[in-house]
Amino acid sequence: MTDSTQAPTRDHATNSPVPATMRSAFHERYGAPEDVVSVRTVPTPKPAPGEVLVRVRAASVNALDWHYVTGLPMFARPSLGLRRPKRQVPGADASGEVVALGEGVTRHAIGDPVFSEVDGGGFAEYVIAPEDWWQPLPQGVSHEQATTLGVAAETALQGLRDWGNLHEGQRVLIAGASGGVGSFAVRLAKLLGASHVTAVCSTRNVDAALAGGADRVVDYTREDVRDLGDRFDVFFDNAGTMSLRECRKLLVKGGTYVSITAPKTKWVKPMPRMLSVPLHFALTSESAPAFKVASRSATDQSWLAAQIAAGRLEPLIEQRWSLEDAPEVLRRQGEFHAQGKSLVIP
Ligand SMILES: NC(=O)c1ccc[n+]([C@@H]2O[C@H](COP(=O)([O-])OP(=O)(O)OC[C@H]3O[C@@H](n4cnc5c(N)ncnc54)[C@H](OP(=O)(O)O)[C@@H]3O)[C@@H](O)[C@H]2O)c1
């Protein structure tokens, strides 16, 4: 009997055996990325039953990676790992080729190009995830494009379509319109039929927001969106810099506020804002919104990839980094002024 959990015979991309060791970003404790993240040679993981090992060709960088590495805010520690991080290899999105199959895997074959939101592990040469998580890469979609479609694109899609209940012909406001989530939110708002999109970002990102499809860009370093006298059907708040009272004033009657972010502090300061979202909008919004967290969705990832394949969606990819740059790219992500998506190419 063969043991199918053993490493496969060939890595089809390089036509070489899957090596016993790989290069990987790694952190054993919480802290500033530049202090706790290093890039090391570690054993290449072997897939358990139902899992698939993928040679990573591109991984994308998300705010989530920064939260996992720093362990902040503290109240998230029960899910991140109380004393030590549960996920010691950063990287929440990955795209690459299948190189080994755990026992019982039927959906994928060696050599298949696939992509997914993974539960950490993307900043490495190889990553494992359950077979159901990996989606086939459609023709015409690159690994670099596909790896942007996890956390950031799913959050923008679920935020506008599901929590914002965005309908065709509506007017949308997107605050924080130029980073990972925001650049997708601008593109997807238009794709989902918004008649007018107002994007809020800083000076250096104005042109990129216009190129992404925004009808109007408000440079928050020069003007204040509250001074426009405009009201919106959907306010996708990816910045969290205004009070909830001020956010409410920017909505038409029955308009929807989508809350996905809160102030970045060490302890519990984000909590009051997150908990008070429903209270602030219960009387003014048709569907009382709450602070939302996006979830991994194979259906959404496939739909997003199909939009790229059809030429309807183009992710904004600003920077490519090597694996050795992982500490620096994570440090920069923690500044929360990313321009589109940054990639790590292991
Ligand atoms: N709830 C969820 O499921 C979920 C999922 C993903 C992300 N998030 C959260 O959503 C936030 C954005 O994530 P991301 O990946 O898009 O981060 P990012 O790539 O770092 O983007 C941050 C964005 O915020 C903008 N920004 C910063 N200060 C601003 C201000 N004062 N006014 C308006 N915009 C401002 C930046 O634009 P400029 O550089 O032009 O200032 C940039 O567009 C993060 O807080 C993240 O933790 C939540």
Atom in ligand 1 nearest the alpha carbon of residue 336: 20
Among 238, 78, 93, 87, residue whose Cα is nearest residue 158: 238
Same domain (yes/no): 226, 184? yes
Atom of ligand 1 nearest to the CA of 63: 15
Residue 44 in any domain: the answer is yes
Same domain, 319 and 225: no
CA–centroid distance, 54 to ligand 1, in Å, is 29
- 89 & 29 share domain: yes
Q: By the 8 A CB rule, do 10 and 71 touch?
A: no
> Is residue 291 situated within a structural domain?
no
For residues 341 and 316, what is the distance between their CA atoms, to the nearest angstrom? 6
Phi and psi at 62, nearest 5°, equal -130, 160
Whether 144 and 161 map to the same domain: the answer is: no
| Residue 257 within any structural domain of the chain | yes
Strand order in the sheet with 171-175: 216-219, 196-201, 171-175, 232-237, 251-259
Pocket of ligand 1 (CB under 6 A): 62-63, 151-152, 155, 175-182, 200-202, 205, 220, 238-239, 241, 260-261, 292-294, 336-338
Specify if 221 maps to a domain. Answer: yes
Same-domain status, 199 and 210: yes
Ligand 1 atom showing the smallest separation from residue 203 Cα: 40
Give 124 Cα–ligand 1 centroid separation in angstroms.
25
Same domain, 216 and 271: yes
Domain with residue 185: its CATH number is 3.40.50.720
Q: Which of 281, 305, 323 marks a domain boundary?
A: 281
Q: How far is the CA of 21 from the centre of ligand 1 (A)?
A: 36
The ligand 1 atom at the shortest distance from the C-alpha of residue 340 is 19
Q: Is residue 165 part of a domain?
A: yes
Q: Which residue's CA lies nearest to atom 20 of ligand 1?
A: 336
In a domain, residue 286? The reply is no
pTM over 0.85: yes
For residue 187, give its domain range: 151-281
Q: Which of 237, 255, 281 is the last residue of a domain?
A: 281
Based on the fold, state whether residues 138 and 17 are members of the same structural domain: yes
Do 143 and 220 have their domain in common? no
Q: How far is the CA of 27 from the centre of ligand 1 (A)?
A: 24
Angstrom distance (rounded) from CA 209 to CA 211? 5
Tell me how far the alpha carbon of residue 31 lies from the centroid of ligand 1, in angstroms: 21
Domain boundary among 249, 281, 313: 281
Regarding whether 247 and 127 lie in a shared domain, the answer is no
How many Å lie between the centroid of ligand 1 and the Cα of residue 28?
26
- Ligand 1 atom nearest 337 alpha carbon: 39
The CA 239 to ligand 1 mean position distance, Å, reads: 5
Exposure letters 317-339 (e unless 16+ CB within 10 A, then b): bbeebebebbbebbbbbbeeebb
Q: Which of 80, 149, 221, 238 to probe ligand 1 with, by most ligand atoms within 8 A of CB?
A: 238
Residues 15 and 106 in one domain: yes
Q: Domain with 104 in it: what CATH number?
A: 3.90.180.10
The answer to whether position 5 is within a domain reads no
Nearest CA to ligand 1 atom 48: 260
315 in any annotated domain: yes
How far apart are the CA of 283 and the centre of ligand 1, in A? 27
Full pLDDT tens readout for the chain, 346 residues:
333 334 444 544 445 579 999 999 999 999 999 999 999 999 999 999 999 999 999 999 999 999 999 998 888 898 899 999 999 999 999 999 999 999 999 999 999 999 999 999 999 999 999 999 999 999 999 999 999 999 999 999 999 999 999 999 999 999 999 999 999 999 999 999 999 999 999 999 999 999 999 999 999 999 999 999 999 999 999 998 898 889 999 999 889 999 888 766 656 666 767 667 777 776 666 555 667 789 999 999 999 999 999 999 999 999 999 999 999 999 999 999 999 999 999 9
In a shared domain, residues 334 and 218: no
What is the pLDDT at residue 235? 95
As for how many domains the chain has, the answer is 2
Whether residue 236 is found in the same domain as residue 247? yes
Of 42, 51, 41, 37, the residue nearest 6 (C-alpha): 51
